[in-house]
Structure 1
Amino acid sequence: MRGIFITIEGPDGSGKTTALQQVVPRLQQEMNRKVVATREPGGSPIAEKIRSLILDPLHTDMDSRTEALLYAASRRQHLIEKVLPVLESGDVIFCDRFVDSSIAYQGYARGIGEEGIREINEFATEGIEPDVTLYIDVPAEVGIQRIHANLDEREYNRLDQEKLAFHEKVRAGYQQLAKANPERIVVVDGTMSREAVAEACYHIIKNRYPSYF
């Protein structure tokens, strides 16, 4: 039996990574299957090397299409090395970002367009999609305030240098995706406390997959 592929998405500063860090240990204790946490870009040795190229704050001259292709390459390697083996074993994998991120960031915010991003990622993933996606939604200005308030607690990368308008486009892209995919993408209010966001994410998963608890 194929396992469960869960992703968590959101603009920078949404708190999605913190939510994942709080929810995963609880799921590992309560679910009757192994629960693996991972991230994109990265998540496997080769994919992590590609991540370092993409997010290096010094790589400000990176072309938008180069960026999109590097994300897809990292995603392919991560899928083969990490995601598919977990799913094939019937277990649960919880991933910080997947294709939705590329559509929101490169498709919408960079202006490449959703269709082009979908095409290169269809090639990279061979059509693999998450079973459920938790989208942590926050206004762009809130996300930016959190980034600057927590620089000592998080990785500072090239995307953190972008202006407010870029992050507003990212959010708009995510909102369009959520509207178009209501059966897969569940919206969580990211302006709530960290504890409340984590609790909401936990209950979404528990309600969707009660037989795994």
Structure 2
Amino acid sequence: MTVCIQEPGLRDGRFITFEGGEGAGKSTQIRLLAERLRQGTPYAVRGVVVTREPGGTPLAEKLRGVILSGAARQFGPLGEALLFSAARIDHIDRVIGPALRRGAFVLCDRFADSTRAYQGAKGGADPALLLAMEKVALGKLAPNLTFILDLPPEVGLERARRRRGEGEADRFEAEDLAFHAQLRDKFLEIAASEPQRCRVIDATLPPEIVADAIWTTVCEKFLKAFTDGKKWA
């Protein structure tokens, strides 16, 4: 087993986002990474914050309900993107920004890449407008690392169906297979355009294999790997 030790001089927090289509396993992988970070790393003291989008604050959670219920669909992709941006601004101001300033690891289930992908999947929202809204919402903030959990859409949709059981599909799960195929292409396009930030992970692999790949990347990017028995610097 490998443990990680803090890089000398590492002071600021680290912002890691998880992206991908429906049923990709983002929530599971965030939970597993958070557990590892909380067990024997400097961030067990400095803090590990797990959050999600849309959501993360009372206001953003209300907007999440509006969006995922389909109530905002009548406004079109651009209208939905505006609601996502409003939720994101509140989320950054109240949760993400303060956590990063105190030096925590922030793990977020979806972020701005999802708006680019979902609202752009059918070409309904002008990419230039989406980028402009993103700049307004984020300011100078950007994820340090983004994991894109990739799998065929039909596999992800079946996982999502099993997960919700008898419940109804949400606004985006209910879209047709062609939409989800375009969504996958958008995420891979984002990853190809920003290789320094994005890591594509094969989400068809067993969860523990996916978790190990994520952990290895986190160690390589932010922390030094040491064998068991070493103490923290």
Category of TM-score, reference length = shorter chain: over 0.9
Aligned-pair CA distance for 1:111 = 3.0
In structure 2, the CA distance between the partners of 1:116 and 1:60, relative to structure 1 (3 Å rule), is closer
Kept in 1, the 8 Å contact 2:18–2:149? The answer is: yes
2:114 corresponds to which of 87, 91, 101: 101
1:8 corresponds to 2:21: no
| Counterpart in the other structure of 1:83 | 96
| Counterpart in the other structure of 1:194 | 207
Which moved further from structure 2: 51-60 or 192-201? 51-60
Partner amino acid for 1:106? Q
Cα deviation, 1:21-73, whole Å, max 9, x if unaligned, reads 22211211132021111100001111111111111156553422111100111
Aligned-pair CA distance for 1:114 = 2.4
Kept in 2, the 8 Å contact 1:109–1:166? The answer is: yes
SS of 1:134's partner is strand
In structure 2, the CA distance between the partners of 1:46 and 1:58, relative to structure 1 (3 Å rule), is closer
In structure 2, the CA distance between the partners of 1:138 and 1:156, relative to structure 1 (3 Å rule), is same
Aligned-pair CA distance for 1:110 = 4.7
Aligned-pair CA distance for 1:4 = 0.5
CA distance in 2, matches of 1:12, 1:146: 8
In structure 1, runs of 5+ residues without a counterpart are none
| Counterpart in the other structure of 2:36 | 26
Partner amino acid for 2:115? S
Which moved further from structure 2: 66-75 or 14-23? 14-23
In structure 2, the CA distance between the partners of 1:98 and 1:141, relative to structure 1 (3 Å rule), is same
CA distance in 2, matches of 1:196, 1:49: 35
Aligned residues, how many?
213
CA distance in 2, matches of 1:211, 1:114: 38
Kept in 2, the 8 Å contact 1:132–1:184? The answer is: yes
Which moved further from structure 2: 197-206 or 80-89? 197-206
SS of 1:49's partner is helix
What do you get for the CA RMSD once the two structures are aligned? Answer: 2.0
Task: Give identity over the alignment, percent.
Answer: 36
Kept in 1, the 8 Å contact 2:20–2:148? The answer is: yes
TM-score (norm 2): 0.85
Partner amino acid for 1:188? I
Aligned-pair CA distance for 1:136 = 0.4
The aligned runs of 1:1-213 (5 Å cut-off) are 1-33=11-43, 34-57=47-70, 60-152=73-165, 156-210=169-223
SS of 1:112's partner is coil
CA distance in 2, matches of 1:159, 1:22: 25
Aligned-pair CA distance for 1:107 = 2.0
SS of 1:30's partner is coil
Partner amino acid for 1:20? I
In structure 2, runs of 5+ residues without a counterpart are 1-10, 226-231
Kept in 1, the 8 Å contact 2:14–2:144? The answer is: yes
Kept in 1, the 8 Å contact 2:76–2:124? The answer is: no
| Counterpart in the other structure of 2:8 | none
CA distance in 2, matches of 1:43, 1:181: 26
Aligned-pair CA distance for 1:204 = 1.1
